[in-house]
Structure 1
């Protein structure tokens, strides 16, 4: 068997009966289990989830907030994370040993997180150390695997969120001359530029070619950006902004900092998912916005604010495909499996990895 066949064989698949149930029956079953389990069950839901799934969430938020909320549930025994794999890993790292974390569909991954694996990062670190000596501190976006968080924690670095990336870069520069930023080059570039670091003092590490790409003097490099990106946010373009400006001259553009540098530069506002949500909520009736972030969330914001004119910055944008792996059939299957004492798709981070990853998370929580 090849690697894909091995993965498929080792991962439980959704029983056929759940595919044959209609939405009403699935909804009825989910409600019954939630009522029966009460506080022993906790369902965190990420902002990018489908409406049919997010409607059952006990709390909504970004990945770190949801992991922290999961850890704060004293009564909860089972945490069914409606998000993607790295988010469930973070929840498992932060929760107690007697709490178990589950992901309704193991195929719900993150292409960005997968762009930096442990072996690639170790090779990159060795080569960068030989070039720059001990002058680099690693930072990783929380949108990364537990293994990458552990690598960063082991080497004195920290995690960052899109909300606190600026603070954490300042923290890192207080410790070392240079930063290795994983795995999203765009968040790293936008944050560094905001701090006043010119583009010529940034380089990109290509993990496939195993080479550093830069212009100018290598000794001037301050930020090394991992060549990774969000497949959703990278699809917002300068052309999208020009189209909005032409069609809606008074409309403001707000985007996520995972977008390309040139897109952020031309936007009126840029910030985290929560920043986008709060900015729209605090805007006056009649205001108009083009939002550059995931489509499920944009559509939800549009419905929540009918007194404003809101559109997607890219009208042809699709929802995050891996987030959309979580649906009613998989959620029902996950909950019923737990209720029957035969749970599936548990997320478990080994103790060694969790220990080092927690170092990176705690450095952020303490310093941000």
Structure 2
């Protein structure tokens, strides 16, 4: 039976592929260090787990409103007011099955066939695929490493056509960990307002920042940009709740209404007990969240210092998320490989270190390393990578 063309055009997730291979090697008894994971290695804070248990004990296990329970919506609204001084109403919020579902649903209700979304590269692997699933066209814009992989107003302006509907901004970024400053966002915002382009602001890593800089949402920079922006966020990364699948979108009430209507015909509602867990995440203590952030900060500093000592590896220190995105083109060449993808495969086969090739993120000279694992594992991984290169070099 022939499958739908929209599915046949999809590119498999490189993150999931490398993770699957690493798991297979582990199952065979190999000592694999997997640095491909896009999730914290900490357990969900106890008060969140207890809140979910309590909701089940209290019988809160039935259908909920498609757009999320009102209490959780209010908690999200209060969080946005406290953190970014942004005011939203219940009509401007939808709770979704993870931030990924929020993005997917947004593109489904936003795009007509052939309409374009500007996707700065390196990008999170699902952005272009979700645009394609909505029959839109992802316009990938290659950013420069010397500009910290960030979209500039000039690059944005050059990429706009009469079919451009939206642009995606991800800060802090997956895979690079880089952040946009207030001034950079203002300059991008001016171009978006000039051409009436919707801004999709993915802020899922906003709580994982390791410098004195504060997270800035482009929606808070002016009333006009507030109206022009849909914010995507969730509790997966900030509260180590990846498996709970709770995200949300905020913005224009007509867009949110359409997203809620679509959700009502596709998923019915986010899982009830997960919503009560998310409610506890946003109304309870942030002590565990801060402990996790501090641990990630230490790991980043250590792993970055180890990597830049490795021959052929070049890496600017990121400011947020929990990834490093080094350029290893020279390392691959030193080892006798024509490209980074083959280098990554050989590293996994020979040294049992699993990295994600940058080609899956639109940047074939780089690799993504997640430091969401112990310092001991990170140090051992750095040693194995160095050994692999030096052995091949000699």
Asked if TM exceeds 0.5, the reply is no
**TM-score, structure 2 normalization:** 0.31
**TM-score, structure 1 normalization:** 0.32
